[in-house]
């Protein structure tokens, strides 16, 4: 079992967040005219779907998360303390994001920004909270999954994978909503692979074995795309009838096997890379700000797009053209500068050491986690823009639910008092300037 810090996992996490940023910053194809923001996806360009087989790195995030969760869980004094610390640590970086975006839409509307681009920006700012909503559920399941791993080992992800296949069969036979069950089956299966890495079953593979594993994962993915109902792109595409991401299909579990096997094949080289002083410092910097970088890289994009596209009339060049290739580095550089500024303002929330003593019991923590997950999922689905028919139909109820869950995950406080405090906090934040 792993007892010291694993530099390979640091590289995987850092590489994953950088890939997420690169994919999200390269995708937008934007133009603005007559109060309407037109949006497209550069990766919808014919043939570019192949990029998503490597740039879709959410499987790697859950894999690394599974490894990190098993390591920290086995070091924890108790399940209660581990759950409390994990839930609060995941939620703390979200609080400033919610506070800012509760006031930003009204502020921009007061400046005369039309409703449609405001709605688009507010939706994008909240959209990525889906990951945190699902990850909180995975954290809640971790104690049970550790026990299942101890008893049944590799059978656990295999059973989850079979369940994922059955869910997809039902989904593609007119039971569409059942597909959301794979948000648990697929991501928990990948999370379990992280357990097997920690205990050496994956970490000790030879290069040939790792490459064989990778070929099997990518090969099955290719066969399922070629002969099944699955689209070739590993991310959702505008206008596509089916998405491999929303809800996730079992294809992403096989993609995870391909990606993990490929990285494991070069694990010695990646470990050597991590030992270089400059690289090691960067890995540490990113690791300490992982959630903040994830949460604020899309608001950075929104700021840049707002100034250049809405304010200055800039239009994204046609993807793949010479002009697009010339402008892409400048676009990345400006987004990076804005993200750096946002991190200077907000990353300290994540980096601050939480000395808060959690006294809630495990059932209370489970309820708190479910409330947080539900609130974040609601925000991801509906966005931060307030609706015209009142405060109760905008983002505030979802913020109330998530904040109440965060408070409930601390000391034992009567639920009514929690909800009252959460309502006061969020309603004050949502007042128009």
Residues 26-47 have a mean pLDDT of 93
Query: Does residue 410 have a pLDDT over 90?
Result: no
> Which residues lie below 8 Å from residue 123, measured CB to CB, with a gap of 6+?
383, 384, 385
Return the minimum-mean-pLDDT range out of 34-38, 161-165, 273-277, 350-354: 350-354
pLDDT recorded at residue 390: 54
Residues 414-430 have a mean pLDDT of 42
Alpha-carbon torsion (407, 409, 414, 419), positive or negative: positive
Q: 175: how many CB neighbours lie within 10 A of its CB?
A: 11
The residues that bridge with 37 in the sheet, in sequence order, are 32
pLDDT recorded at residue 417: 41
Render pLDDT for 339-374 as a digit per residue (tens, 0 to 9). Answer: 999 999 999 999 887 666 778 899 999 999 999 999
pLDDT recorded at residue 5: 76
Q: Select the highest-mean-pLDDT range: 222-236, 383-397, 409-423.
A: 222-236
pLDDT recorded at residue 246: 87
pLDDT recorded at residue 295: 97
Query: Does residue 2 have a pLDDT over 60?
Result: no
Cis amide linkage into residue 247, ω under 30° from 0: yes
What percent of the chain is modeled with pLDDT above 90?
A: 81
Tell the residue number behind the tokens 């505030």, with chain if given. Answer: 396
Q: CA-based angle 190:208:249, to the nearest 5?
A: 25
Residues 160-174 have a mean pLDDT of 95
Query: Does residue 58 have a pLDDT over 80?
Result: yes
Phi first, then psi, for residue 154 (nearest 5°) are: -65, -15
Distances (CA, A) of 193 to 69, 160, 199, 367: 12, 11, 10, 27
pLDDT recorded at residue 354: 66
Residues 374-383 have a mean pLDDT of 95
Residues 105-122 have a mean pLDDT of 92
Phi first, then psi, for residue 16 (nearest 5°) are: -65, -45
Residues 247-254 have a mean pLDDT of 96
Residues in the chain: 433
Query: Does residue 422 have a pLDDT over 80?
Result: no
Contact criterion met (CB below 8 Å) for 198 and 2: yes
Of the pLDDT bands very low, low, confident and very high (cuts 50, 70, 90), residue 419 is very low
pTM here is 0.91
Of the pLDDT bands very low, low, confident and very high (cuts 50, 70, 90), residue 277 is confident
pLDDT recorded at residue 296: 97
Query: Does residue 15 have a pLDDT over 70?
Result: yes
pLDDT recorded at residue 388: 55
Of the pLDDT bands very low, low, confident and very high (cuts 50, 70, 90), residue 427 is very low
Of the pLDDT bands very low, low, confident and very high (cuts 50, 70, 90), residue 428 is very low
The residues that bridge with 36 in the sheet, in sequence order, are 33
């Amino acid at each position: 079992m792993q007892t010291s810090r694993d530099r390979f996992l640091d590289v995987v996490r850092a590489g994953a967040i950088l890939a997420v940023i690169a994919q999200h910053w390269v995708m937008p194809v934007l133009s603005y005219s007559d109060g309407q923001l037109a949006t497209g996806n550069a990766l919808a360009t014919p043939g570019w779907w192949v990029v998503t087989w490597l740039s879709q790195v959410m499987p790697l995030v859950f894999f690394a998360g599974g490894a990190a969760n098993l390591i920290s869980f086995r070091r924890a004094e108790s399940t209660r303390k581990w759950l409390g610390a994990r839930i609060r640590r995941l939620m703390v970086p979200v609080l400033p994001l919610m506070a800012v975006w509760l006031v930003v839409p009204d502020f921009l509307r007061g400046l005369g920004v039309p409703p449609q681009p405001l709605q688009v920006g507010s939706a994008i700012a909240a959209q990525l909270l889906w990951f945190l909503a699902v990850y909180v559920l995975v954290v809640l399941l971790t104690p049970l999954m550790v026990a299942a791993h101890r008893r049944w080992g590799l059978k656990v992800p295999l059973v989850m994978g079979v369940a994922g296949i059955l869910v997809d069969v039902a989904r593609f036979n007119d039971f569409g909503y059942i597909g959301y069950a794979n948000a648990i089956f697929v991501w928990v299966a990948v999370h379990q692979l992280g357990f097997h890495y920690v205990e050496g079953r994956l970490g000790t593979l030879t290069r040939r074995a790792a490459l064989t594993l990778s070929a099997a994962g990518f090969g099955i993915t290719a066969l399922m795309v070629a002969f099944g109902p699955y689209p070739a792109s590993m991310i959702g595409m505008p206008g596509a009838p089916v998405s491999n991401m929303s809800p996730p299909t079992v294809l992403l579990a096989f993609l995870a096997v391909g990606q993990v096997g490929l990285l494991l094949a070069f694990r010695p080289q990646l470990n050597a890379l991590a030992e270089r002083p400059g690289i090691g410092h960067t890995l540490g910097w990113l690791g300490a700000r992982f959630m903040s970088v994830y949460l604020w890289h899309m608001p950075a994009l929104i700021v840049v797009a707002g100034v250049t596209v809405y304010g200055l009339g800039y239009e994204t060049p046609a993807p793949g053209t010479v002009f697009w290739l010339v402008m892409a580095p400048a676009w990345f550089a400006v987004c990076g500068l804005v993200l750096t500024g946002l991190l200077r303002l907000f990353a300290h929330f994540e980096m601050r050491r939480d000395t808060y003593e959690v006294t809630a019991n495990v059932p209370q923590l489970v309820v708190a986690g479910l409330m947080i997950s539900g609130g974040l999922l609601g925000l991801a689905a509906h966005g931060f823009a307030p609706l015209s028919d009142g405060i109760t139909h905008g983002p505030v109820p979802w913020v109330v639910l998530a904040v109440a869950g965060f408070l409930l995950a601390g000391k034992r406080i009567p639920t009514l008092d929690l909800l009252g405090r959460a309502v006061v906090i969020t309603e004050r934040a949502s007042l128009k300037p």
